[in-house]
Structure 1
Amino acid sequence: MNIKWVFTLVFLIFILAGCGTGTQNNSNSLNYELENVTEGFVEDGHFSFKLISEKAVYQVGEPLQIKAELTYIGEEESIRISHAASPIWMLTSNLSEGYQFDAAMNEPLIFTDLKKNVPFVEQYQFSGGTYYEGAPGNPYSEDVFLQMAEGKFPPGQYEIKGKTDFAIGEDIMTERVQLETYIIFTVVE
């Protein structure tokens, strides 16, 4: 083998080895697989649904500024919808830990009149329940649940999935409207 090739090979090995020898141990450096998304939007021709976070990154204990807007954009001046506690559901997942928090229905049937182009706005409020065997996602403790219920989300990356679930008119079993979008944000210390 030519000495020139040996020297080049040894030189390349040193270069490549030098690129990977440093380690970074910075607790403020977060590497998540998903990019933060501060606005989600979907529409079906009659309704538009938007989910908005004021920020992509929050501090632990900082109030989350997240809201959902459901807007009737159809042809009538107003429309009556029927739904459970709200026509909007916001489900929380801790993507870093694999926790999923479902929401509970606290009122059986409500009627809401939506005026054309006037958003029905709902502010985010954590509404997850405690983990039970067979629930989706990884098990989590009552302490984690209580911390999140107090608005003190632990560090990590989170997804809020916004969903609508309502019917047009007063019969909940007909013409159901189910739209879905999401946002992703990060909580840091």
Structure 2
Amino acid sequence: MKRVLFVSSIITFVLLLVSCQPTDDFDQTQLEEYEVKQTIAETREGDFVFRLLSEKEVYEENESVELYGEIIYVGDEEEVSIGHSASAILFSIEEKVRGYTIDYAVEDIGTTTILKKGENYRKKYKKSIHYSEEIDPKEYIAFAEEFMEGDGFPPGYYVVNGVTDFFLSPVEDDDGAKHFELEAEIDFLVK
């Protein structure tokens, strides 16, 4: 009798231990519900074109995701100076299956970039994710840690919102800087 009680106690302990572990409810078959709409998007405002692009519609789990934002100046001047935060291009990503957002952090302000007429200013997405061990759920923290491992993204359906937010420095006959904020959205899958 003592042996049966001891074995059932061990089984109960193991079941409790397993049930307390964070789980990732992600199931690859959930990806079948999603269809990639566009891997290139472009917007234009005044003399500026903003383009957001992913090299592929579908990436493998450990494959590097090639994601870029571009600003192209198409005005009359040979070059213009723009003022912006640490980066002229910011990426906000949402993994739709899990409902997780991978946002950007704005660091410095007051940075200047020279755009030459007709030349692409291109910024490649660099992985980063922010979380709080005190506030965020264990599942999100596990996702964040997996996200930062290696070059690829965890499996999922990703929607990327790219933004360029800058001021065009005033020219001599102008009385103020002009503000531009252009956005574009693309999507891709990781299987």
Sort the TM-score into its range (normalised by shorter chain).
0.7 to 0.9
Counterpart residue number, 2:147: 148
- State the partner residue of 1:124: 125
Structure-2 change in CA distance of 1:95 and 1:139 (3 Å): farther
| Structural RMSD (CA) | 2.6
Give the match for residue 167 of structure 2. 167
From the superposition, tell whether residues 28 and 69 of structure 1 become closer, same or farther in structure 2 (CA, over 3 Å). same
Aligned match of 2:189 in 177, 186, 189? 186
Unaligned runs of 5+ in 1: 1-25
Partner of 1:127, secondary structure, is coil
Q: Confirm or deny: 8 A CA contact 1:42 1:50 kept in the other structure.
A: yes
1:177 aligned partner, one-letter code: F
* TM-superposed deviation, 1:90: 0.9
Determine if contact 1:163/1:181 at 8 Å carries over to the other structure. yes
Residue in 2 that maps onto 1:70: 71
**Is the 1:126–1:149 contact (alpha carbons within 8 Å) kept by the matching residues of 2?**
yes
Residue pair 2:163, 2:183 contacting (<8 A) in 1 also: yes
Residue 157 of structure 2 is matched in structure 1 by 157
2:180 matches 1:177: yes
List, as ranges, runs of 4+ consecutive aligned residues in structure 1 with deviation greater than 4 Å. 26-29, 131-135
Runs of 5+ consecutive residues of structure 2 not aligned to the other structure = 1-26, 171-175
Deviations 1:134-180 (A, max 9, x none): 99xx985222112212344221100111100111117xx94211000
- Distance between the aligned counterparts of 2:82 and 2:182, measured in 1? 14
Residues 147 and 154 in structure 2, CA contact (< 8 A), matched pair in contact too: yes
Aligned mates of 1:169, 1:31 — CA distance in 2: 47
Give the structure with the higher percent helix.
2
TM-score normalised to the size of structure 1? 0.74
Give identity over the alignment, percent.
30
What is the rounded CA distance, in whole Å, between the counterparts of 1:163 and 1:63 in structure 2? 22
TM-score normalised per structure 2: 0.74
Amino acid at match of 1:55: K
Q: How many residues align?
A: 159
